[in-house]
Amino acid sequence: MMENKYAEVYKKQHYGLVGKHSAVKVCHWTKSEMTGGPSCYKGTFYGINSHQCIQMTPALNSCTENCSFCWRFNGFDSMKIADEDDPEFILEESIKAHMKLISGFKGNPKVTEEKWEEASRPKHIAISLTGEPTLYTRLGEFIEIAHKRGFTTFLVTNGTLPMVLEKLDPLPTQLYVTTAGPTKEIFNRLLNPSIGNAWENFARTMELLPSLDTRKVIRHTLVKDVNMPYIDEYARWDSIADPHFIESKGYVHVGQSIDRLTEDNMPSHDDIMAFTTELGEKLGYQVTAERRESRVSLLCKDPSIAMLNHD
């Protein structure tokens, strides 16, 4: 059982707490696909089965930023995990916590026996729930153990700790870097970094990305009237990072973010697609997919490598 002052808040929000600093949470799309509905946009973009995906974090209370657009509970105590749990323990207990959270779906008449059996054998781990996962110093060990057990891994980072990414071994199946501050002024105002050299570190991460031998994604989280369009500025960063994919996703006015932003800050899907089309033309990337309900688009450098093989 996690012992921290936010435990009751997390429980009310249906997090499954794992050890001292980790957690899982069943996302909307996992529930949707289990009950016969659509999957997450990652299913459309990359072939991920939402009902076989575990959404987790090894850094529940720790982050280097306090993003205005984040809808999660930002109960960040520090930028260091003082007493770290063993990575094998985190993985095993995360699987158990996830299975406990979805256990009630077994008796749901909308869940077929086939879907339940598949959901009982998760194949993917999204290391992206909340916090900054690269603060967990044994992240490489965690990813290695996950891969040995047959999981694919998606790691989402804000890019403020390039020294971790540089030494991370093994790398995740797919590495996301959130790129939401096209200029230093917007970066500091919107992302509210807790470290003084966050912008410089982010720049180092962009320069590092081409050398990392894994699938790479730049994710632009777009907030209307704040960090978009700035097409030239984003194109500059994307050119430096040279990712395989670029996701552009609109801010949604939900959760904790409603105290910091307004409904008017939500771009429409048409806004997202106009941004995506212009950015793709500048970079020579192809618009290959979109999901209107999620206000998200995908640009690919090489569309032939988009889908993952989970067999």
Closest CA to 68 of 215, 263, 259, 295: 259
pLDDT for 32 equals: 95
pLDDT confidence of 187, banded at 50, 70, 90? very high
Residues forming a β-bridge with 168: none
For the stretch 31-53, pLDDT in tens is 999 999 999 999 999 999 999 99
Q: How far apart are CA 185 and CA 69, in angstroms?
A: 16
**Domain 7-305 superfamily per CATH:** Aldolase class I (3.20.20.70)
pLDDT for 310 equals: 53
For the stretch 214-264, pLDDT in tens is 999 999 999 999 999 999 999 999 999 999 999 999 999 998 899 999 999
Distances (CA, A) of 20 to 65, 72, 199: 21, 19, 30
pLDDT for 239 equals: 98
Alpha helices by DSSP H, listed for 47-197, are 87-102, 113-119, 139-148, 162-167, 184-191
pLDDT confidence of 1, banded at 50, 70, 90? very low
Q: How far apart are CA 309 and CA 152, in angstroms?
A: 9
Mean pLDDT score of the chain: 94
For the stretch 101-135, pLDDT in tens is 999 999 899 999 999 999 999 999 999 999 999 99
What residue ranges do the domains of the chain occupy? 7-305
Side chain identity at residue 161, one-letter code: L
pLDDT for 82 equals: 86
Alpha helices by DSSP H, listed for 62-161, are 87-102, 113-119, 139-148
CB atoms within 10 A of CB 192: 15
pLDDT for 309 equals: 65
Distances (CA, A) of 102 to 35, 40, 55: 11, 17, 12
For the stretch 48-96, pLDDT in tens is 999 999 999 999 999 999 999 998 877 676 788 989 999 999 999 999 9
Closest CA to 137 of 79, 215, 73, 68: 79
Burial of 304 (0-12, 13-18, 19+ CB in 10 A): exposed
DSSP-assigned letter for residue 245? E
Across 66-80, 102-116, 141-155, 283-297, least confident range = 66-80
Query: Token match 């998760």: residue?
Result: 122
Phi, psi at 247, each rounded to 5°: -100, 135
pLDDT of residue 8 exceeding 90: no
pLDDT of residue 311 exceeding 60: no
The SS3 call for residue 9 is helix
Mean pLDDT across the stretch 188-210? 97
